Amino acid sequence: MGVWELIQDQILGMKWLNELIGRGLSLLGLDVGGRVGGSIRFFLYDVLKITVLLCLLIFVISYIQSYFPPERSRRILGRFHGVGANVISALLGTVTPFCSCSSIPLFIGFTSAGLPLGVTFSFLISSPMVDLGSLILLMSIFGAKVAVVYVAVGLAIAVAGGTLIERLHMEPYVEDFIRKAGKVDIDSPGLSRRERVQFAREQVGSTFRKVFPYILAGVGIGAVIHNWIPESMIEAVLGGRNPLGVILATLVGVPMYADIFGTIPVAEALLYKGAQLGTILSFMMAVTTLSLPSVILLRKAVKPKLLGLFIGICTVGIILVGYLFNGLSFLLL
């Protein structure tokens, strides 16, 4: 086994934990190859694995994020112009909140501060779709190739979407109270290393409390799919025989509310059952980027025409990405 395979399987994937849980359940008299035993094994393994990775990732990302408070982020973005500003904004989104509802207050703040609308939308698309946490977790399940390409195409959607909104001059479709808020120049105090560590610890606790119910729900759904739903059914709906699988997965994902940590166990189970890679990733992107609560929250900040354009850009981009991954899955898996 190579060094990278060791990292992917035993450190990120924690396959040793899966084997340990399997042996433990077998000692208790459960058949881990059966439906009940297999479901329990899947549930315990994924909950423990995702929880450990989640806490480590939140700590590291929050520590990094402590160097980029909203005012500093606004100033960084204000130095760039054109497509370059959209690229920087999308990249900045990778070290900010884990779900779309958390990203929207920052989007409102950036827009109120006078940043170009397209730049703020690049941030809004990127933030929930492609954070550093998704890169690590996707590596643990799908491998490095899938994770890197997923992040790359997510950033491409964010940059393209923001650029298009900028070119269409949609500023009049931002609600008046945001456009008239004006700039707020408040210097964020410098933090010591100890304060940054404390901030990261607090973020671990608060984010974990918000996310953990979705992890339990996602892993529970994944366990049912993995052990109870026939493979033929999944293949018929989301496999290569259904050319509309990507569109169906995207439309199903939009009204749901979860984040990358809650959708990954579902994606893992779907892949095991024969669903196509691109179809699965389209579902994940739709859930994390276009959840119904986030759309409702965004409606308070923008008018229906701009909201519809945002939803349309994201939906079309996600569907195109799904078909792209389906076509390239033989190279990635």
In the prediction, which pLDDT does 288 show?
78
Beta strands in the chain (DSSP E): none
Backbone phi, then psi, for 186, in 5-degree steps? Answer: -120, 120
**252 residue type, one letter:** V
User: What is the helix (H) or strand (E) element at residue 197, kind and residue range?
Assistant: helix 193-227
Instruction: Find where tokens 């990302």 sit.
Output: 61
The pTM (predicted TM-score) of the whole model is 0.77
pLDDT computed for residue 258 by the predictor = 63
> Taking the chain, what is the end-to-end CA distance rounded to the nearest angstrom?
17
Domain locations in the chain as residue ranges: 3-184+192-332
What confidence score (pLDDT) does residue 186 get?
Answer: 44
> Could you read off the pLDDT tens digit of each residue along the chain, which spans 333 residues?
567 677 777 777 788 999 999 999 999 999 998 989 999 999 999 889 888 887 887 788 778 778 877 667 777 777 777 888 899 888 888 776 555 556 777 787 778 777 889 999 998 888 877 877 777 778 877 888 888 888 888 899 999 999 999 999 999 998 887 766 555 444 455 778 898 899 889 888 887 887 788 788 888 888 888 888 887 888 788 887 788 999 998 888 876 666 667 788 888 888 888 889 999 989 888 887 887 777 887 888 889 999 999 999 989 999 998 999 998 888 886
Which whole-number Å values give the CA distances from 84 to 70, 119, 126, 150, 299, in the listed order?
19, 9, 15, 21, 27
Cα(230)–Cα(124) distance, integer angstroms: 38
Single out the residue of 214, 239, 229 nearest to residue 326, CA to CA: 239
Q: In whole angstroms, what is the distance from residue 264 CA to residue 269 CA? A: 9
